[in-house]
Amino acid sequence: MYVSPIREPLITGKKMYKKITDEISAPIEGKAGKAWYAGIAITLSALFFGLAMMGWTIWQGIGTWGLNKTIGWGWGITNFVWWVGIGHAGTFISAILLLFRQKWRTSINRSAEAMTLFAVMCAGLFPLIHMGRPLLAFFVFPYPNTRGLWVNFNSPLLWDVFAISTYFSVSLLFWYVGLIPDIGTIRDKVKSKFKKAVYGFLSFGWTGSARHWSRHETMSLVLAGLAAPLVLSVHSIVSADFATSIIPGWHTTIFPPYFVSGAIFSGFAMVLTLLVITRKVLNLESYITVGHVESMNKIIIATGSIVGIAYITELFIAWYSGVEYEQYAFLNRATGPYWWAYAIMMTCNVISPQLLWFKKLRRNLAFTFVLSIFINIGMWFERFVIIVTSLHRDYLPSSWSMYSPTVVEVGIFIGTLGLFFTCFLLFIRVFPVIAIAEVKTVMKSSGEKFTNKDKNE
């Protein structure tokens, strides 16, 4: 008898196919528990508070924020870049890991894809509000008009519009195409006529025939091929908002790969934050195993190390350039008035992920949960440091200024957190949080019931 000491089962508990369907679809068929209602009450409260602050901003203007003539970008753009980064893990898990045939993605891809959509929705709110006149937001789209007004294609902000809209569209298609077989399964299981009709409409007449599966798999691969370059392009374009400027601290060619690795880094951390709780609350420990958590932690080590190298490279290039303004920009980040933000960034993003080299910590769920929160805090401060510390001390000392957010800015950010978590809580009640059909495809190769040990016994 031989049992591989390396590859542990991705599905534990010796499940049968019917049991997989029943257990994953149970949160949809059953009634919501007290924890879900408590969570939705908290997140809705945060969302409504944020909506009130957004309404106040639109009514009164951007003057309600803590911006000034020196610091024209603050929390708004910081949060925009942070939310776009959060959404990167979904595309990475869905597209790139699918193309590389990584079986461990099957239990986490569905929630990661949904998280991508919700994060991009949150990100899109900030540029809209930051315009100051959101009712004229349609001016950013190049449409035929009689005003003689056309968008400026040389503007990186316009590139953001195309990048984010493309990213959201492809991610939505990928997420929904993957859902169709599971929606068909839920349609056949629910008892309510109303639910059966709704899921029947959403399933597009899915029957599970060989023709349907063939087209589904082909479409999934095509969308994966389209989505894979987006992992690299979207945050590269977001980084161009800074890199194409001449402001010291922003004008650097390392930003595109640095932003992409940082986005995957923070995105995986948010996936872990959600899934560590979800697997426990929904009793999905057999499908989201410690092995899945360890695999994600390995990617966090890799991307976190790339981010650390990027920080060091920035410091080296600033010194090597011989440009005193660049040198001062980075010296000011580490020793200036915002040194504490720089210290938090370095501690959370560079030092703390290195603890995952220890296997016991890499497989410890409590430690992983705490570390994932630390990473997201660190990545938020990274964006804050890049934006605020590069702006608050200009070429003229007479224009130097400090920035601190107002209650309105903090409230809008809290509102986007409320929107994100409200959408996720509603998602787990309406659709399977784990891809039932995809999990079944790896059963015979990675399920505990079909291991060599079980066959020999």
pLDDT above 60 for 287: yes
pLDDT of residue 457: 43
Percent of the chain surpassing pLDDT 70: 96
In the block, residue with structure tokens 């508990």: 13
pLDDT of residue 445: 67
Looking at every residue in the chain, the average pLDDT score rounds to 86
pLDDT in tens, 184-243: 888 888 888 888 899 889 888 888 888 988 998 888 888 888 888 888 888 888 888 888
CATH class of the structural domain 17-448: mainly alpha
Lowest mean pLDDT among 138-142, 259-263, 376-380, 448-452: 448-452
pLDDT above 80 for 14: no
pLDDT of residue 2: 47
pLDDT of residue 104: 83
The pLDDT confidence band at residue 451, using thresholds 50, 70 and 90, is low
Cα separations in angstroms, 445 against 4, 10, 236, 317, 322: 12, 9, 37, 48, 57
The pLDDT confidence band at residue 395, using thresholds 50, 70 and 90, is confident
If one compares 281 and 374, the residue with the highest pLDDT of the two is: 374
pLDDT of residue 384: 92
H helix or E strand, kind and range, residue 166: helix 156-189
Lowest mean pLDDT among 9-13, 70-74, 83-87: 9-13
